[in-house]
Amino acid sequence: MQVEHRITVAAPPSTLFRIYADVGRWHTWDPDTRQATLDGPFVVGARGRLTPARGNTVPMLLTRVVTDECFTVESKIPLFRMLFEHELVPVGTGTQVTHRVTFSGPLSLLLGPLLSRQLNAGLPLTLARLKALAESTTAA
C-alpha cells in the first residue's frame, strides 16, 4: 500500500535538502511529527527516533541519502514496515517535491487503510508548510 503527494516549490533542491537534514526541526513544518531525533549526521545508516503527533515513538533508519536529490527513512515495528521517501526534482527555477509512504508486512492490511487516510489528510498540509518555509528561506 502506498500514499504519494507532490508540490512545486519556488526554491532550489539544496534549500529543501538543508531543511530535511535538520531532523530536530521537522516538527516545525510537519504537523504530524511531534519530535524527531537522529543519532549522528544525515547519512545512510544513521538511526534515530520519530514521535508522531498521534501514536508511539518509532525507530527510524536512513536507508538512502543523495544530497540535494532524495532521502528515505525506514521505520519498523513487529510485522509492519513503513518507507518514507522524499524526492527533489529541479523544475524550471524551482523544485518538485514528492513525499511517498509505502507500507508492508502482515499488519499493513490492518494499519495501512487507517494510516493512508491520515497521510492523505496530513501530507498536503506538510508539503504546504515545507513550501512556505523553503520559499521564505530562499527569500531571506
Secondary structure (H, E, C), the chain: CEEEEEEEECCCHHHHHHHHHCHHHHHHCCCCEEEEEEECCCCCCCEEEEEECCCCCEEEEEEEEECCCEEEEEEEECCEEEEEEEEEEEECCEEEEEEEEEEECCCHHHHHHHHHHHHHHHHHHHHHHHHHHHHHHHHC
- Mean pLDDT over the full length of the chain: 91
Q: Tell me the whole-structure pTM to 2 decimals.
A: 0.91
pLDDT bracket for residue 139 (50, 70, 90)? low
Q: Which domain holds residue 31?
A: 2-139
Residue 140: is its pLDDT beyond 70?
no
> At 107, phi and psi to the nearest 5?
-75, -10
Number of domains in the chain: 1
Chain segment 125-136, per-residue pLDDT in tens:
999 999 999 999
Chain segment 57-113, per-residue pLDDT in tens:
999 999 999 999 999 999 988 888 889 999 999 999 899 999 998 888 888 887 778
> CATH number, domain at 130?
3.30.530.20
pLDDT bracket for residue 138 (50, 70, 90)? low
What is the strand order of the sheet 47-52 is part of? 2-9, 94-104, 80-91, 70-77, 58-66, 47-52, 33-39
